[in-house]
């Protein structure tokens, strides 16, 4: 995508839609940015918007998104609401010339996302907040690959583990207690969780196709899957396996990742907290993902602002993010899950 006219260095005003659990991480990110003012927060539950506004020293709170846009005239809006609301809110913003960052997944289906991208067109800038690629360890992996440390990647395996969908002593699973609407998602782990990791793999290795997949459910109280394995293929015979479980006893609620990349020169291993080259004397690099959970939210927001100001394309342009949604749908299709 080509460069567009940027907004320059002037102060920018931001409105936030959604005051649920995830909004706190967005607001921490916004409040740490220079020359940025969050002018309003909106949520259908006004008291929830008011609580977040008070917590983050934001002047205005609304229960109606259109009213917020009409009264505040923000430069951009950050939409962190349930996925089924995204398309309507994005369209309202685009109609008013307000630039958009929307939480992943963009929409419930590829067809809806394609229609949304067409409708928005070039009226406003439109980015999907797909932020795992901005996690410090994945940013470092990308740099090591660019530096040629493994040579040409031939094979990769990304393992993701969490206990977040397990019921403990009859209590609701931790991730369901945090976001109750996930309980009834018929497409759960891949659509809501592993979509992040599909984006990471595509970021690292380019375009991929889903060759095969298997889904499972350990917690029978969930409507969707909590276990998934997806086999992916890329250019020149490259293969990757994405192996995820959010029903893994002994693991923390916050998912932890292990990535192994085999190249024609060396093997890279990121193992939860440490990045290294297998068998190398080069010193490993340590990371603390559980205590840097905020970092990718902040860096995703920093990227959005930088590209708005410069006119450069977003890494996660909505039009480009369609490829990730297609990988999600292809994974379900490969597993034999009906559309």
pLDDT score recorded for residue 2: 61
CA distance 153 to 149: 10
pLDDT digits (tens, 9 = 90+) for 114-155: 999 999 999 999 999 999 999 999 999 999 999 999 999 999
**12-124 has which fold?**
Rossmann fold (3.40.50)
Residue 3 has pLDDT above 80, yes or no: no
Residue 237 has pLDDT above 90, yes or no: yes
* Class (C level, CATH) for 133-291+325-334: alpha beta
* Domain ranges for the chain: 12-124, 133-291+325-334
Residue 192 has pLDDT above 80, yes or no: yes
Residue 339 has pLDDT above 80, yes or no: no
pLDDT digits (tens, 9 = 90+) for 22-58: 999 999 999 999 999 999 999 999 999 999 999 999 9
pLDDT score recorded for residue 57: 98
- Is the model's pTM score more than 0.85? yes
Sheet bearing 12-17, strands edge to edge: 60-62, 36-42, 12-17, 76-79, 99-103, 126-129
Show the CA angle centred on residue 272, arms to residues 267 and 273, nearest 5°. 95
Residue 4 has pLDDT above 80, yes or no: no
E strand residue ranges, the chain: 12-17, 36-42, 60-62, 76-79, 99-103, 126-129, 153-161, 209-216, 227-233, 239-245, 256-263, 267-271, 274-277, 285-286
């Amino acid at each position: 995508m080509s460069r567009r006219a940027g907004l320059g260095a002037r102060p920018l005003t931001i409105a936030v839609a959604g005051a649920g659990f995830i909004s706190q991480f967005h607001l921490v990110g916004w409040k740490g940015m220079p020359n940025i003012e969050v002018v309003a927060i909106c949520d259908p539950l006004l008291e929830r918007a008011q609580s977040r506004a008070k917590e983050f020293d934001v002047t205005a709170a609304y229960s109606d998104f259109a009213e917020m846009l009409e009264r505040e005239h923000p430069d951009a809006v950050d939409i962190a609401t349930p996925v089924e609301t995204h398309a309507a809110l994005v369209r309202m913003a685009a109609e008013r010339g307000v630039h958009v960052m929307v939480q992943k997944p963009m929409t419930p289906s590829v067809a809806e996302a394609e229609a949304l991208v067409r409708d928005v067109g070039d009226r406003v800038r439109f980015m999907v907040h797909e932020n795992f690629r901005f996690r410090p360890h994945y940013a470092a992996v990308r740099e090591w690959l660019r530096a040629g440390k493994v040579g040409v990647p031939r094979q990769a395996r990304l393992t993701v583990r969490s206990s977040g969908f397990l019921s403990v002593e009859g209590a609701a699973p931790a991730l369901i207690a945090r976001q109750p609407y996930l309980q009834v998602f018929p497409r759960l782990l891949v659509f809501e969780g592993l979509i992040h990791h599909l984006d990471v793999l595509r970021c690292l290795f380019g375009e991929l196709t889903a060759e095969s997949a298997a889904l499972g459910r350990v917690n029978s109280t969930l409507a969707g899957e909590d276990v998934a394995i997806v086999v992916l293929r890329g250019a020149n015979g490259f293969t990757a396996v994405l192996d995820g479980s959010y029903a893994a006893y002994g693991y923390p609620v916050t998912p932890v990742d292990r990535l192994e990349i085999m190249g024609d020169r060396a093997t890279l291993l990121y193992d939860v907290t440490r990045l290294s080259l297998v068998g190398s004397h080069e010193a490993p690099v340590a990371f603390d993902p559980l205590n840097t959970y905020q970092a990718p939210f902040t860096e995703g927001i920093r990227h959005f602002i930088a590209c708005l100001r410069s006119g450069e394309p977003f890494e996660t342009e909505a039009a480009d993010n369609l490829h990730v949604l297609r990988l999600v749908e292809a994974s379900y299709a490969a597993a034999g899950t009906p559309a």
